């Protein structure tokens, strides 16, 4: 009978970690790729057989009472019976395949969720609260996330005996290689729910409608995303919830147009008011404000109201409100009004005023375009 403890150089009461450590050390030394030769290959085969037996709790227990799987004339073929992942473990520190051994947890993190939120311009400027109503995955109220009907539980999987994995021997260029895969009976959990919850069917979560109020910070704009940590979908088996992302959409305002942190609007002035000057009252987002129109105001002139624009995101500084003047030329004049304008033109020497042509970008349309382009 083989003495696998002596082969690996460990005591009979050695722990699984000590056995694994001894195998790794010898595998690095005797592997054919590192130490070519028939003698090293034979020694490598012996330590592989030893670890295949001692590295498995059930096989080790059977060996200790006299059962030796390699006792009948040894293993037929190089590498027979050893686990390929064990060899990879010896050289790469247990990272082969990227999966840890043992059953995996039923609890998994829930998915993130993305919801649209439409707000008005005033909320974007000053911030505020908004209500959200949405359907999502929540913890099952009947089983509290464990997936089992109240009063019942789980049992150890009969196929994998609670390990969450099953082993399979396949032929390869190394001989017979033992591979490990998740157990299909318990899906790798190591346990089976004997009586699933009738409400969630063993999932541990159900779909439900949630209502919540969120705080919208001042300065948001269309496309801004607000992250709410842990407010997404609850994970399977009551796992931690993902995050909720709220994407803002700002509704179009009938009067104001946003450009960065500034707001723009236009005011239509009679020709006489533009010429003589006046004071107008404008309903801003901050309430009524007086707008002083200087005498001689031209079409396209901009009156700036400081600090009445949009609050800069994550700041208390606000942009400006830009009021664009639009001078209205009268189209219907009676005889008396026409005489008065002719007298004015005569007084100003403008009976035969010559037109002064300018590039289009210096006119009203150009100035408005430049203002909205930030020039």
Q: How confident is the model at residue 213 (pLDDT cuts 50, 70, 90)?
A: very high
Closest of 192, 200, 203, 181 to residue 85, by C-alpha: 181
45: left (phi over 0), alpha (psi -120 to 50) or beta: alpha
| Look-up of token digits 């293993």 | 75
pLDDT (0 to 100) of residue 125: 95
Rounded mean pLDDT of the chain? 83
Tens digit of pLDDT for each residue in 243-300?
A: 999 999 999 999 999 999 999 999 999 999 999 999 999 999 999 999 999 999 999 9
pLDDT digits (tens, 9 = 90+) for 31-51: 666 677 777 778 888 888 888
* 225 close to 248: Cβ distance less than 8 angstroms: yes
Look at the block and give the residue holding tokens 């490598």.
Answer: 44
Is 243 in contact with 232 (CB distance < 8 Å)?
A: yes
Please indicate whether residue 134 or residue 177 has the higher confidence score (pLDDT).
134
How high is the pLDDT of residue 57? Answer: 79
How many Å apart are CA 122 and CA 254, to the nearest integer?
Answer: 12
- Is 143 annotated as contributing to ligand binding? yes
CA distance 92 to 17: 16
Residue 265 among known ligand-binding residues: no
Please give the share of the chain, as a percent, with pLDDT higher than 70: 81
Phi, psi of 309 (to 5 degrees): -95, -145
DSSP letters spanning 321-361 = EEEEEEEEPP----HHHHHHHHHHHHHTT-TTPPP----GG
Q: Residue 166: its pLDDT value, please?
A: 85
- Residue ranges of domains in the chain, CATH in brackets: 4-98 (1.10.287.110), 113-145+203-250 (2.60.260.20), 154-193 (no CATH), 257-372 (2.60.260.20)
What is the spatial distance between Cα 355 and Cα 362, in angstroms, rounded to a whole number? 15
Residue 214: pLDDT over 90: yes
The model's pLDDT over 164-197, given as tens digits with 9 standing for 90+, comes to 888 777 665 556 667 788 888 888 899 998 888 9
Residues 6+ apart with CB under 8 A from 311: 125, 126, 127, 218, 219, 261, 317, 318
Q: Is 242 in contact with 115 (CB distance < 8 Å)?
A: no
For residue 200, say whether it is annotated as part of any ligand binding site.
yes
What predicted TM-score, i.e. pTM, was given to this entire model? 0.62
d(CA 284, CA 264) in angstroms, rounded, equals 11
The Cα 329–Cα 345 span in angstroms is 15
């Amino acid at each position: 009978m083989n003495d696998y403890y002596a082969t690996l150089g460990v005591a009979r009461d050695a722990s699984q970690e000590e056995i694994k450590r001894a195998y790794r050390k010898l595998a690095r030394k005797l592997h054919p790729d590192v130490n070519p030769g028939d003698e090293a290959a034979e020694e490598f085969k012996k330590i592989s057989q030893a670890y295949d037996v001692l590295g498995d709790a059930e096989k080790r227990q059977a060996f200790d009472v006299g059962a030796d799987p390699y006792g009948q004339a040894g293993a037929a073929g190089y590498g027979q019976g050893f686990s390929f992942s064990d060899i990879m473990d010896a050289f790469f520190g247990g990272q082969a395949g990227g999966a840890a051994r043992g059953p995996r947890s039923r609890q998994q993190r829930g998915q993130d969720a993305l919801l649209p939120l439409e707000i008005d311009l005033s909320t974007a400027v000053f911030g505020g609260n908004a209500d959200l109503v949405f359907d999502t995955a929540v913890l099952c109220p009947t089983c509290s996330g464990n997936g089992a009907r109240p009063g019942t539980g789980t049992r150890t999987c009969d196929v994998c005996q609670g390990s969450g994995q099953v082993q399979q021997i396949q032929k390869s260029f190394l001989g017979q290689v033992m591979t490990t895969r998740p157990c299909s009976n318990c899906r790798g959990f190591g346990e089976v729910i004997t009586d699933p919850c009738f409400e969630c069917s063993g999932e541990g979560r159900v779909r439900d409608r949630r209502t919540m109020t969120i705080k919208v910070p001042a300065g948001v704009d269309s496309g801004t995303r607000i992250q709410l940590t842990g407010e997404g979908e609850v994970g399977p088996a009551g796992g931690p919830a993902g995050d909720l992302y709220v994407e803002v959409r700002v509704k179009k305002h009938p009067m104001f147009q946003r450009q960065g942190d500034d707001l723009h609007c236009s005011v239509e002035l009679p020709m006489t008011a533009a010429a003589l000057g006046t004071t107008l009252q404008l309903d801003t987002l901050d309430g009524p404000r007086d707008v002083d129109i200087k005498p001689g105001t031209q079409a396209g002139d901009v009156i700036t109201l400081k600090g009445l624009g949009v609050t800069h995101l994550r700041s208390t500084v606000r942009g400006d409100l830009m009021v664009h003047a639009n001078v209205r030329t009268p189209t219907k004049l009676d005889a008396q009004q026409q005489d008065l304008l002719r007298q004015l033109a005569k007084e100003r020497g403008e009976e035969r005023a010559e037109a002064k042509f300018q590039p289009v970008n210096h006119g009203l349309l150009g100035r408005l375009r430049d203002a909205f382009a930030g020039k």
